């Protein structure tokens, strides 16, 4: 494939310490992979004949990755938003049969085409900010057919748009009304068998659950994880979002890719995650929407060296967010991350949270998934609110 040089750029490789900045840089790719990156003055003679595009001194970063979304769903939750403003809590609404279950009713009634059509504008909003890989969860079906339909819709998104889609099976998101008070039966009769069906159809890249008082306990999630392990699938978990339930320790015990939300995680949890190599996926959109006040233990994650990713958690209930840039800003303003941590959180660490080793940094051999920004300094990406400085989005070397 023809080589191309992106020259006259500031390149934040995120390879190595800090931003891994290369000033007056150039990057050579072959429409798929990065072949070389470094100061343009050092461009090897073997690449000098390739077509060159002048980047006008703009900033190139690895393309953002949204490693936690529920972007496939039907309907909206604007009424619930009003109820919460009138004083009802998220948990009260969920226990009264609203919340996740109202989205379940709408999603069960939607065809695969409806689900794709409703998800596309949300996906397009993310792509407009340079995102080249997203994770999409099931979890609004809570019955085999709809769980599989959600996963098929997610895969379809990756055929309709230039984006990599990783699908996550999240039947253990809530107990559906027909199993009210019988969560173990739901596990045995729906979650576990439908995982096998979805896996046999090639629809599952990872297995997730919601470990919470309004959802599933650690014993139930452990059964899900055992089933995932038997199929060779990686696991991750919505853990310690609303209260401390031991989900993070469980996730670490299973070598999970990530434990997500983790506001109520402790310093001991952080140590277990560090030892297991589990990424902390921070979701400031949900923290903001729920007006949560318990901050995730960022200092403990730093002290233990737990990689922190940031993601939108795009979902209709707790995080109707389709902006990775706003998520970076919230990560800094609400959680006290540095702009460098925020950028790492949506690139290097987001890739790791998805188990992807071929993207998230700029280095020879990795995919040419890049974002070109009309900014000088990488901190500007986190600084602004509601402004999109994306100049070009390059997916597998193609704009």
Q: Which of residues 252-291 bind ligand DI6 (CB under 6 A)?
A: 286
What's the sign of the alpha-carbon dihedral 134, 207, 262, 360?
negative
Choose the stretch contacting ligand DI6; rule: CB under 6 A; options: 58-66, 99-107, 143-151, 358-366: 99-107
313 lines the binding site for Fe ion (CB under 5 A): yes
250 lines the binding site for ligand DI6 (CB under 6 A): no
**Residue that is written with structure tokens 């949204």 in the block:** 66
Q: Which of residues 286-315 bind ligand DI6 (CB under 6 A)?
A: 286, 313, 315
Q: What does the radius of gyration of the chain's CA atoms come to, in whole angstroms?
A: 21
Question: Which residues share a beta bridge with 66?
Answer: 134
* Alpha carbon distance 392, 130 (integer Å): 7
Q: Which is nearer to ligand DI6, 100 or 203 (CB)?
A: 100
Q: Which is nearer to ligand DI6, 130 or 316 (CB)?
A: 316
SS3 302: helix
CB of 317 to ligand DI6, least distance (A): 2
361 binds, among ligand DI6, Fe ion, none (CB under 5 to 8 A by kind): none
Q: Which is nearer to ligand DI6, 36 or 73 (CB)?
A: 73
Residue nearest ligand DI6, Cβ-based: 317
Candidate residues 99, 297, 345, 378; the one interacting with ligand DI6 per rule CB under 6 A: 99
263 lines the binding site for Fe ion (CB under 5 A): no
SS3 194: helix
Candidate residues 69, 103, 323, 329; the one interacting with ligand DI6 per rule CB under 6 A: 103
SS3 21: strand
* Alpha carbon distance 171, 156 (integer Å): 19
Q: Where are the beta strands (DSSP E) in 269-373?
A: 279-282, 308-310, 370-373
Task: Give the count of residues interacting with Fe ion (CB under 5 A).
Answer: 1
Residue closest to 319 by CA, chosen among 290, 296, 345, 293 = 290
100 lines the binding site for ligand DI6 (CB under 6 A): yes
Choose the stretch contacting ligand DI6; rule: CB under 6 A; options: 49-57, 97-105, 291-299, 374-382: 97-105
Give residue 320's Cα distance to chain centre. Answer: 14
Candidate residues 61, 218, 248, 318; the one interacting with ligand DI6 per rule CB under 6 A: 318
241 binds, among Fe ion, ligand DI6, none (CB under 5 to 8 A by kind): ligand DI6
Task: Give the count of residues interacting with ligand DI6 (CB under 6 A).
Answer: 13
* Alpha carbon distance 292, 271 (integer Å): 24
Residue closest to 132 by CA, chosen among 397, 375, 335 = 397
Residue closest to 173 by CA, chosen among 152, 153, 197, 194 = 194
List of residues contacting ligand DI6 (CB under 6 A) = 99-100, 103, 173, 210, 238, 241, 286, 313, 315-318
């Amino acid at each position: 494939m023809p080589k191309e040089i992106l020259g006259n750029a500031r390149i934040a490789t995120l390879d190595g310490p800090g931003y891994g900045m290369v000033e007056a840089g150039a990057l050579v790719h072959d429409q798929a992979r990065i072949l070389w990156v470094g100061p343009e003055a050092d461009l090897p003679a073997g690449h000098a004949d390739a077509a060159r595009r002048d980047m006008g001194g703009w900033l190139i970063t690895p393309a953002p990755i949204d490693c936690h979304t529920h972007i496939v769903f039907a309907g909206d939750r604007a009424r619930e938003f009003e109820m919460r403003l009138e004083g009802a809590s998220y948990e009260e609404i969920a226990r009264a049969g609203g919340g996740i279950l109202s989205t379940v009713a709408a999603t069960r009634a939607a065809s695969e085409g409806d689900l794709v059509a409703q998800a596309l504008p949300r996906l397009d909003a993310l792509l407009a900010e340079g995102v080249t890989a997203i994770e999409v969860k099931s979890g609004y079906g809570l019955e085999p057919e709809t769980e599989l339909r959600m996963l098929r819709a997610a895969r379809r998104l990756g055929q309709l748009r230039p984006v990599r889609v990783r699908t996550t099976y999240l039947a253990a998101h809530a107990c559906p009304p027909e199993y009210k008070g019988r969560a173990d039966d739901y596990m045995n009769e729906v979650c576990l068998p439908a995982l096998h069906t979805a896996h046999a159809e090639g629809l599952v890249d990872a297995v997730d659950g919601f470990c919470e008082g309004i959802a599933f306990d650690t014993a139930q999630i452990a059964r899900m994880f055992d089933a995932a392990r038997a199929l060779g699938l990686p696991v991750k978990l919505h853990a310690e979002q609303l209260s401390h339930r031991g989900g993070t320790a469980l996730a670490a015990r299973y070598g999970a890719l990530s434990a997500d939300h983790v506001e109520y995680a402790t310093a001991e949890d952080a140590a277990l995650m560090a030892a297991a190599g589990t990424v902390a996926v921070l979701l400031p959109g949900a923290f903001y929407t729920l007006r949560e006040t318990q901050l995730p233990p960022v200092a403990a994650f730093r002290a233990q060296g737990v990689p922190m990713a940031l993601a939108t958690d795009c979902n209709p209930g707790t995080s109707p967010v389709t902006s990775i840039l706003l998520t970076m800003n919230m990560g800094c303003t609400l959680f006290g991350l540095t702009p460098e941590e925020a950028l790492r959180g949506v690139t290097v660490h987001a890739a790791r949270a998805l188990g992807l080793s071929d993207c998230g940094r700029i280095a020879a051999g990795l995919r040419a998934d890049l974002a070109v920004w009309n900014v000088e300094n990488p901190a500007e990406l986190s600084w602004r609110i509601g402004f999109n400085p994306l100049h070009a989005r390059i997916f597998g070397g193609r704009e």
